[in-house]
Amino acid sequence: MNYWLMKSEPEECSVDNALASKNATVPWVGVRNYQARNFMRDAMRVGDGVLFYHSSCAEPGIVGIARVASTAYPDPTQFDPDSPYFDAKSRPDEPRWLLVDVQVLRKISTLPLPALRARPELAELLVLKKGNRLSITPVEPRHWQAITGSSAVVQPDKAGS
């Protein structure tokens, strides 16, 4: 099992948007970084844990616990000329960009960056590294456990299933 931190701007897709959607599941559209795409394509598996992170907002931080709910598949926004994520060089027979579906299991009180930085056991968490701007980063199991208090396999709870 792998663990991930996935950033979303609340105006694009907030944890509340995800919870309000069918099965609390949303397609993670708009990733336009090859390394982040490769994480989805090559390393993410259904059931992997996700720290849902709000970025580019008044209080950036971890706002929810989620899981990867699908394998990677082509992001349809790359083919839509009206989408801000349109990519004229991407073709349906050779898509450049992929996405996974993410299912929010529960919303948590925001764990803002200063609170994360104040915890010595999280010093190596990638989102805290200077210059790290990736929208998707791997999370070490020890960091996942320190943040969630659990090393359990991520499963939807009764309300989220």
Q: How high is the pLDDT of residue 133?
A: 82
Q: Identify the pLDDT of residue 132.
A: 82
User: What are the pLDDT digits (tens) for 93-145?
Assistant: 999 999 999 999 999 999 999 999 999 999 999 999 988 888 999 999 999 99
Q: What is the DSSP string of 121-141?
A: GGTT-GGGSTT---SEEEE-H
Amino acid identity for residue 148 in this structure: T
pLDDT tens digit string along 34-45?
999 999 999 999
The predicted pLDDT at position 79 comes to 98
CATH code matching the domain that covers 3-143, chosen among 3.40.30.10, 3.30.360.10, 3.10.590.10, 2.30.110.10? 3.10.590.10
